[in-house]
Structure 1
Amino acid sequence: MKKEKVIEIGVLLGIIILAVIVVVVAGNQRKNKTKTETENKTETETQMESDSESESETETALADKESLDADELVEENFRQAGITEYEKIDLEDYESQAGIDLSEYVSYRFYYDSDGLKIEGYFSAPKDLLDGQKTSCLIYNHGGNQDYGALENIETCFYAYQLHTICIASNYRGCGSSEGEDQFGGADVDDVVRILDLCEQFSYIDKDAINMMGISRGGMMTYEVLSKDERVHKAVVISGLSDCFMSYEERSDMQTIFDSLVGGSPEEMPEEYEKRSATYWADEINIPLLIIHATGDEKVSVAQADKLTEALEQAGKTYEYITFDGNSHGEIRPEDGEKIKAFLEGQEQEEDSEKNNVK
């Protein structure tokens, strides 16, 4: 009996010890779980606080940018894009000459780098488009050669006002106060491409809504950019040079200029003339075009525009072609201005077809 009692006591002690062990282990598990939950909660709270601070900083930065006035915003963007030389232009004289109110517009002359050359550029914009929101813009390519037709802020102001858009342009190398030599559609096309680069860096420009317009020689520059760069959304060409072979034959007064700037005659340098003639590579233009040309244009014949639109038609490209009676060159009639604005803003009339030749 005594032996059995000892065994019972031993069993009882074993059970008690086992129970104590279970309680201790369970307690430790609860303690570890609580510690882990506390640590996780602390990490989560810390991350949430960090995210909240980050959002607050972003909102503050945006608020600061939106609070900048138009001049400050433009100049800040110039600096961020690496443009260190710029000056604001007083619009009073042009305002009185043109008889329009430009009090709510800003205009700048600036200089930027292109292939190691200092190129002169112009910028004009309505102040209400510089409110911190992204908007479309227009890159304008002027006509002429060397200093003939050199750009001034008047052009960018005019288009900014008429089309209510941000307008940016440059004096290609060898023109105005830009460094280098005019190559009439050669490496100087890079000067326009660099404007595209700058537009993508400006905080107020929608990089998917960068449009382009060229007049006369500027039409040639526009076509060349379109053939090598797909960042342009839509393009307008007025009295555009599209076949240098034809221009050489049509304009005896331009032959010396062609020889000098291109480097020779069409017979001597056919590849260079073809490179500058969109009629030979219309299939490489992949965006909607609006082409406007006077039927009696004596500087760039309407035959060039006819030839180009035929090539565009054959290549299945999207374009609109408007011709009108007269011998003007580079003229934008009031109705053309309205058409250009609607075209760039995507407000074409439903009855207009994608490929439309309007006489």
Structure 2
Amino acid sequence: MKLKKLLSFVCPAVFVLSAGMAQAATPATTTPFQPLMTNSKDCFSGQFSSYDGFVSMLKRMYPNNPNVGAMMHKSIPRAVFEQFQQQLHCELFVYDVGGVKTKGYLVLPKAAPAKSLPVLVYNRGGNGKTGSLVFMNVMSQLMSLAAQGYVVFASNYRGEHNQLNLPPEQIGKDEFGGAEVADVLAFKSLLTQVPAANPEHVAMMGHSRGGMQTWLAAKQWPELDALVIVAGVTDSEALLQFRPEMENVFKARIPDYANNKTAALQQRSVSFFLPQIRADLPVMIVHGDQDKQVDVSNAHKIAQLLSARKQPHELVIVPGGDHSLQKQMPELREQMDQFIRQQLR
């Protein structure tokens, strides 16, 4: 990935901390890292333990680009890095789901009182290494959400990072809406290990492919207070008409796809299984009208289906918004926060 694209995950505007963060977080602290999960490490360790170390790492990665330092300072200012480092607890951990191990992240404001913070499960988009959670998009996506006063859990899904030196059966395979949905559902029990987390207040958010993961998980997690679906797919078969190249992703990841195509795609399409989701579960649908990867018609279709069953929902169509919604995300994140907090039971 070229540096310009890599840094596009993080624009300065996304790092505006909310008032909720100011109340929940502590001032600068030197408290030693205390893991909340087993088999975990501090996100701010090793090459990420300081801003200078972070920038030096990028310069080593891109020795032929003399602008690396300047681009880094513009994309992630030192003050933002250090503010997050001082105010947020962030850990990368390995967890077991039915004998399969995968990597997850936990991010939350430091020193929050017991059961004081709502939980937000964030489901990433992409497939393979595309969209996987690495330090820079953990900062832009997960830390920015935690800064609003949430306990944030996120999974990289099984099968994507065989860096654990484990046999294949312990790494598992990403089935793009199949077995790896269990990696998301596992947070239902893991969140009880976080003293600050309020298990009665849990919402879920998914972007792109993460929207599919969110809909699928909601079938088995009826206690959720709210869903936020960003640039999500409503009908996977219709997606193939819009983006035929997605067939390669489906073939590579969905088991027995060649012999079970229609059933497999319908199983992953909320337009076919919406009745299996709690009818009073509030949903916020967010989509850019210039999305070239998942057409905005997906948002309109699911809004119509939600209206038909009188399910509470909010539809936000972003004028000029692309698939990432990067330019609009700071404002959208505030809207999402307001929506979620209105639904907390």
Q: Same fold (TM over 0.5)?
A: yes
Among 223, 230, 236, which residue is 1:238 paired with? 230
Q: Structure 1, residues 330-354: CA drift from partner, whole Å, max 9, x if none?
A: 3152321211111111189xxxxxx
For 2:101 and 2:250, the matched residues in 1 are separated by 24
The alignment of Structure 1 onto Structure 2 pairs a total of residues equal to 272
Among 218, 222, 242, which residue is 1:250 paired with? 242
- TM-score calculated relative to the size of structure 1: 0.70
Do 1:248 and 1:255's aligned partners in 2 also have CA atoms closer than 8 Å?
Answer: yes
Q: Which residue of 2 aligns with 1:116?
A: 99
- TM-score calculated relative to the size of structure 2: 0.72
Alignment of 1:1-359 (within 5 A): 75=35, 77-78=36-37, 83=38, 85-90=39-44, 92-93=50-51, 97-99=75-77, 100=80, 101-102=83-84, 103-129=86-112, 131-152=113-134, 153-154=138-139, 155-161=141-147, 163-177=148-162, 179-263=171-255, 268-286=260-278, 287-331=281-325, 333=328, 334-346=330-342
Mark the CA change 1:71 to 1:212 in structure 2 (over 3 Å): closer, same or farther: farther
Mark the CA change 1:127 to 1:201 in structure 2 (over 3 Å): closer, same or farther: closer
Percent sequence identity over aligned pairs: 26
In structure 2, the residue corresponding to 1:196 is in which secondary structure? helix
The one-letter amino acid of 2:224's match is: V
- Does 1 or 2 have the higher relative contact order (CA < 8 Å, sep 6+)? 2
Q: Which residue of 1 aligns with 2:69?
A: none
Q: Write 1 or 2 for the structure with the bigger share of helix.
A: 1
Do 1:144 and 1:217's aligned partners in 2 also have CA atoms closer than 8 Å?
Answer: yes
Larger radius of gyration: 1
Give the Å deviation of 1:260: 1.8
Do 1:294 and 1:329's aligned partners in 2 also have CA atoms closer than 8 Å?
Answer: yes
Mark the CA change 1:242 to 1:347 in structure 2 (over 3 Å): closer, same or farther: closer
The answer for unaligned runs of 5 or more in structure 2 is: 1-28, 55-71, 165-170
For 1:267 and 1:190, the matched residues in 2 are separated by 24
For 2:160 and 2:31, the matched residues in 1 are separated by 27
For 2:299 and 2:211, the matched residues in 1 are separated by 11
In structure 2, the residue corresponding to 1:122 is in which secondary structure? strand
The answer for unaligned runs of 5 or more in structure 1 is: 1-68, 349-359
In structure 2, the residue corresponding to 1:346 is in which secondary structure? helix
